[in-house]
Amino acid sequence: MRTAVLFSGGKDSSLSALMLSKCFEVELLTFTFGLSENWRSAERSAKRLGLPHKKIDFGGGVIEEATDMMIKDAFPRDGLNLVHKKALENSAKEYEIIADGTRRDDISPKLTLAETRSLEDRYDIHYVRPLLGFGRKLIDELAGRFFIVLEGENLPKRADYEFEIRCYMRENYDEEMVEKIFPSRHVHSRVLGLKSCRSFNLGATFGST
């Protein structure tokens, strides 16, 4: 079954992709607003995981709508959810299964149960979140077992939505607005490689297609 995994190159989407990769025919998709080449960092991570990767353009209007929402709310949650839903809906047109790295403890982007079912029904697809039943600590333990991970605050050119939205706000508003909407210093991660072939049987998850 053709499966799209929304992919930033971080440890969550990497783990999710590998959990699905030998069960389904996985392709990693990184969405971009076209403001930066930051998607190339996800492309590099995908290459190191040995999985096919595509860059997809959001098309016009999405970043404007999401940013307006964040500024109105003075909070990024609903804007990030909007962007993520657009990425899922775009992928749902082309694939039978769409997946992402949403964890149990994530706040946003995260679809509600009702939104999840609506997405599946509207596009007649399966939407899967393999890490939804895993807590942060156990994901860290698994990622540390399989991946060489770079972690830090505001990693340069990371391929998540926030990176380009920050660029857009900086250009169209100012640094103060960026700090108002994204004040906390989240720790981000980037997968640089697999630890070893021996410890990495994760790819055999679920048996071959």
User: Interface residues with a copy of itself (CB under 8 A)?
Assistant: 1, 19, 22-23, 97, 102, 104, 113, 116-117, 120, 126-135, 137-138, 141-142, 145-146, 199-202, 204-208
Q: How far is the CB of 137 from a copy of itself (least distance, A)?
A: 6
Q: How far is the CB of 81 from a copy of itself (least distance, A)?
A: 17
Q: Is 170 left (phi over 0), alpha (psi -120 to 50) or beta?
A: alpha
Q: How far is the CB of 84 from a copy of itself (least distance, A)?
A: 15
Instruction: Give CA–CA dist 37/20, Å, rounded.
Output: 27
Listed as own residue / partner, the contacts of 106-111 with beta carbons closer than 8 Å and 24 or more positions apart are 107/77, 108/76, 108/77, 108/78, 108/80, 108/81, 108/84, 109/80, 109/81, 109/83, 109/84, 109/85, 109/161, 110/81, 111/81, 111/84, 111/85
8 contacts 191 by C-beta, under 8 angstroms = no
Residue number, 6 or 23, with CB nearest to a copy of itself:
23
Give the residues across from 5 on adjacent strands.
Answer: 28, 99
Residue number, 139 or 155, with CB nearest to a copy of itself:
139
Residue number, 48 or 126, with CB nearest to a copy of itself:
126
Residue number, 62 or 98, with CB nearest to a copy of itself:
98
Residue number, 99 or 165, with CB nearest to a copy of itself:
99
**H helix or E strand, kind and range, residue 133:** none
Q: How far is the CB of 1 from a copy of itself (least distance, A)?
A: 8
Q: How far is the CB of 83 from a copy of itself (least distance, A)?
A: 20
